[in-house]
Amino acid sequence: MGQTFIRRVYLGGFLILIFTLFYYQVLKGSFFLERAQNNYVRVISLRSIRGTILDRNSTPLAVDKASFNIAVIPYQIEKQKNLLFSKLSKDLNYKTDVLTRNYRRRFSNLFSPVDIALDIDKATALKLKNKFNDAVVINPYPQRFYAYPYEFSHLIGYVKEAASFYENLKKYGYSPLERVGVAGMEKYYDAYLKGEDGGDLIEVNSKGKIVGFLGERKPIRGKDVQLTIDSRMQHIAYELLKDRRGVLILMNSNTGEILALVSSPSFDANNFIKGKNLDQFFSDPDRPLINRAIQSTYPLGSIFKPIVGLAALEEQKINPSTTFVCKGALNVGNAVFHCLGNHGDQNIYTALAHSCNIYFYNIARILGAEKLSDYARMFGLESLSGIDLPYEKKGSVPMPGKKPRHWFLGDTLNLAIGQGYIECSPLEALIAINVFASGGYLVRPYLLEKVDNAKIAATQKTHLGLSQKNMDIIMTGLNGVVDADYGTARLLRDLDLKIAGKTGSAQAKRGAHGWFLGYFPQDSPKYTICVFLENAGSSTEAVKVTHEFLGRLKDEKIL
């Protein structure tokens, strides 16, 4: 292929372009000029409906409701704009500059309706339409409504108009008015929930009257998302927690389905939809916007002890008949480490039931900090649980000898009772205790049951390869926590649910955190529960909340 040929190819290309230009600009120029002068082509957008979020019994939790905006068409009102706005502002009880600001911000072109007053109730909207006739347009649009905001806001999250981050979303097929989930399930499952906006492409004459129809794209409704949550359980859980700071989680031990998950204090997601009174949530020192179940980490306290016990059994450092004597305190070097009681001879069973610190100090000394740290990590205390919610935060387990400073024997002893540098989220703690309940699996928790009535949920679990015999020993110990007369959670015995578990009081700056982690029935666990109360002083309150929660579930026969 010679260069002359290339030159000809390029020239050919240019001639094609010139010929096309000639056709459009010279031959059909007048035709297009007429179209441009009146701009005949107009897009009327049709908003799509977002999928509904339901609980496991199909109770709607988040739905789209019709709302109304007042809009004007710029080129129709050009000359009387200020007059119209001042009249409208009286009727709507809005400030004129709010209308002007909305107008300026939402203006796209002279011929498309611009929303100037948002979320007007239907009666007012109709009244205005009668009064102002063609000067205003009623623009109906779907608005998100959350039925039980305080119970569900942390799980469901909320949506926002895409406009503010539109540039990033454009190529994913979002339009600026479309709503995008920015938190919770609304964010995580946005791809299912979001529909697709449509519109009519119409041809109008110079007076704005429709004279032709060029095409349409039907809006597509989003898919419905059904949660594993039982809203009856969720209501009871929230009722019990609402005036405290804490977390309650109930999960199916074998599948990982979350049945209830409450973080308190909570917030009203509807305020984010309306954009009203948000300061109260941002400025609240109790930080209600944080989902404490997955976004905060706390010291574990004694709930770490079952893992310490299992580690010692697995490493063959102790057996069920190994005993240590508790005299209420243990001297290590110059320091004294205390226990809450003077428990005497303790084996693994009694030590768990009493939550005896001395016993665990002793096995930690034999076992070494590295092993403790390895097992904590194996039980998922430093990994994300993988729950289908955005912004999950993982816990931290110290690396002896590396962080955060030189490691002392005292640090090892502290670690044995879940204090010091070990922290995890309540959900991670639940997943760790669930290893015993599920027969040795790290189970992934999840919230999504069905999408548009098709089952999506699938259990994912990893076997940790621990010996069942050793786990049985710990589980017998955990039975004692409830069943033994000296057990720290003996209050739960009268529920007759055959509960096993472990209490924990974790030292913290503003008062000890209270924990109860457990599962039931003892022989073949079906449910795993975590109750966590921030700065509650001790575990007593956590056990009481557990008692009340499970008691009410039993009374109402929803277990």
Give contact residues for another protein (rule: CB under 8 A): 1-3, 6-7, 10-11, 13-14, 16-18, 20-22, 24-26, 28-33, 35-37, 39, 41, 43, 45, 108-110, 167-173, 198-199, 201, 214-217
The amino acid at residue 144 is R
Residues 6+ apart with CB under 8 A from 191: none
> In this complex, which beta carbon is closest to another protein, that of residue 161 or of residue 548?
161
Backbone angles phi, psi at 221, to 5 degrees: -70, 145
Give the nearest distance from C-beta 365 to another protein in angstroms. 45
> In this complex, which beta carbon is closest to another protein, that of residue 10 or of residue 486?
10
Task: State which H helix or E strand residue 270 sits in.
Answer: helix 270-274
Give the nearest distance from C-beta 45 to another protein in angstroms. 8
Q: What is the 3-state secondary structure (H, E, C) of 332-345?
A: ECCEEEECCCCCEE
> In this complex, which beta carbon is closest to another protein, that of residue 126 or of residue 214?
214
Give the nearest distance from C-beta 53 to another protein in angstroms. 25
Q: What is the 3-state secondary structure (H, E, C) of 163-187?
A: HHHHHHHHHHCCCCCCEEECCHHHH
SS3 (DSSP) at 466: coil
**Cis peptide leading into 398, omega within 30 of 0?**
no
Q: Are 95 and 160 in contact (CB under 8 A)?
A: no
d(CA 78, CA 120): 23
Give the nearest distance from C-beta 141 to another protein in angstroms. 17
> In this complex, which beta carbon is closest to another protein, that of residue 40 or of residue 337?
40
* Mode of pairing for the β-strands spanning 210-217 and 198-204: antiparallel
Give the nearest distance from C-beta 448 to another protein in angstroms. 22
In whole angstroms, what separates CA 206 from the centre of its chain? Answer: 51
> CA angle 7-10-12, nearest 5°?
105
Residues in the chain: 559
158 burial via Cβ count (<10 Å: 0-12, 13-18, 19+): buried
* Mode of pairing for the β-strands spanning 344-346 and 324-326: antiparallel
> In this complex, which beta carbon is closest to another protein, that of residue 177 or of residue 491?
177
Give the nearest distance from C-beta 50 to another protein in angstroms. 19
Q: Are 321 and 340 in contact (CB under 8 A)?
A: no
Give the nearest distance from C-beta 284 to another protein in angstroms. 34
Q: Are 376 and 397 in contact (CB under 8 A)?
A: yes
| β-sheet bridge partners, residue 325 | 345
d(CA 538, CA 428): 20
440: DSSP letter = S
Give the nearest distance from C-beta 184 to another protein in angstroms. 22
Residue in the block written with tokens 């035709």: 31
> In this complex, which beta carbon is closest to another protein, that of residue 29 or of residue 521?
29
> In this complex, which beta carbon is closest to another protein, that of residue 22 or of residue 282?
22
> In this complex, which beta carbon is closest to another protein, that of residue 172 or of residue 486?
172
Give the nearest distance from C-beta 463 to another protein in angstroms. 31
Give the nearest distance from C-beta 219 to another protein in angstroms. 11
Q: Are 228 and 455 in contact (CB under 8 A)?
A: no
> In this complex, which beta carbon is closest to another protein, that of residue 215 or of residue 333?
215
Residues 546, 550, 555, 556, CA torsion sign: positive
Give the nearest distance from C-beta 19 to another protein in angstroms. 10
Give the nearest distance from C-beta 224 to another protein in angstroms. 22
> In this complex, which beta carbon is closest to another protein, that of residue 172 or of residue 391?
172
> In this complex, which beta carbon is closest to another protein, that of residue 21 or of residue 329?
21
Q: Helix crossing, 409-416 with 357-367: angle to 10°?
A: 130
The amino acid at residue 280 is Q
> In this complex, which beta carbon is closest to another protein, that of residue 25 or of residue 453?
25
374 burial via Cβ count (<10 Å: 0-12, 13-18, 19+): middle
